[in-house]
Amino acid sequence: MRKTIFLICLALVLNSCATIFNGKTTRVNIYAPENATVHYNKQTSIVYEGETSLYPKRSRDSLKFTITKDSISTDFAFKRKTSGLLYANLFTPQIFGAGFIIDFTNQRRFTYKRNIYLEIDSTTNTFKQFEGKKQPFKQHTTFIYTSPLHFMDFFSQPMVTLGVEYFPLDNFSISAEYGTMYIKSSKDNSKPNYSENKGFTSRYELKYYNLISITNNPKVNEYIALEARFLRHQFNKVISIRRINNDINYYIREPITVHKFLDIFNIKYGLNFPVGKRMYLDVYSGFGFRNKTFKNPNSFYNPETDYILESDSHLFFGRKRYLEGVDNQKLFNFSLGFKFGIKL
């Protein structure tokens, strides 16, 4: 009986998400005019480069502080909110969300507004909350960027990329990106080599910025995008085949040339974060589909009489696919990545 009670209590504690993952304090970022002073809990902090941070204890009470600049002084009180981690208990069906029991016994289930934007109201000579109107990207703005993940894509074809994004209208942009291989692919293991090992990728996007606002952060520009990406790769490969000819089985190793064609189309949601005055970080995610096809111009492989030996495989990813008419695929595609760029 005691063991059963102990296990029940242990399950509750281990599945009380807010209690486990939330610390006693949280962080609140305050954006305000330069050199303003925030007074909180008998401590002061100066606004430097437009920002300062508070670390209040999680509580059911409101977050109260005073901000001053020269002769202007204003008191603020922001109501506490419920941490989103509390609702993660719903994803523990094995105990029917019983982690709520633990989370409701302490104040770690509470949090406060993450970002607070304040400005001076010249008519009343007081500070007021600035909900934030995003600054649009103006017509004829131009970005130059690169995609670092392509450079580190050692599971596929590492490439160096460079792209240009241009705004023909406010908040509407078109972009084109090109990348090329910079190292010799490990796929090139055939002797003799029938073709040059090379590859390139291109990406084209249409973006509409600030159509939606999920983050409610005026410093971040959000966008919806349509993306088309094309990858072309040529390399050599050796395949092992069991061939049946007039009831005679024999094994051969055949060097072949592989022409890989990959077309990807996505709908994306992204965030453009400013880094300093000119640089930015573009983080995105999306979904769509990919169409993968192969050509083997010098192969004698016949799917009616030949059987591929599963020697070229990986513990997690299965056999590498590169045979014409056999390994062509249409698949769901999930996109997640980032770009780093500079505003001209």
Q: Where are the alpha helices (DSSP H) in 15-134?
A: 17-21, 99-103
Looking at residue 320, its pLDDT comes to 62
Tokens 């160096």 map to which residue?
160
Q: What is the pLDDT of residues 134-182, one digit of tens each?
A: 678 889 999 999 998 887 776 667 888 999 999 999 999 999 999 988 7
Looking at residue 148, its pLDDT comes to 87
Residues ≥6 apart with Cβ < 8 Å to 240: 251, 252, 253, 308, 309, 311, 312
Report whether pLDDT(202) > 90. yes
Pairing of strands 221-245, 306-308: antiparallel
Cis peptide before 192 (omega within 30 of 0): yes
d(CA 69, CA 240): 76
Report whether pLDDT(14) > 50. no
Report whether pLDDT(259) > 60. yes
Instruction: Give the global pTM.
Output: 0.60
Residues ≥6 apart with Cβ < 8 Å to 202: 176, 177, 178, 179, 229, 230
| Tokens, residue 146 | 């690169």
d(CA 320, CA 317): 8
Q: What is the pLDDT of residues 1-11, one digit of tens each?
A: 554 444 444 44
Report whether pLDDT(311) > 90. no
Is residue 12 within 8 Å of residue 98, measured between CB atoms?
Answer: yes
| Tokens, residue 128 | 């007021």
Determine what percent of the chain is predicted with pLDDT higher than 90: 27
Looking at residue 25, its pLDDT comes to 86
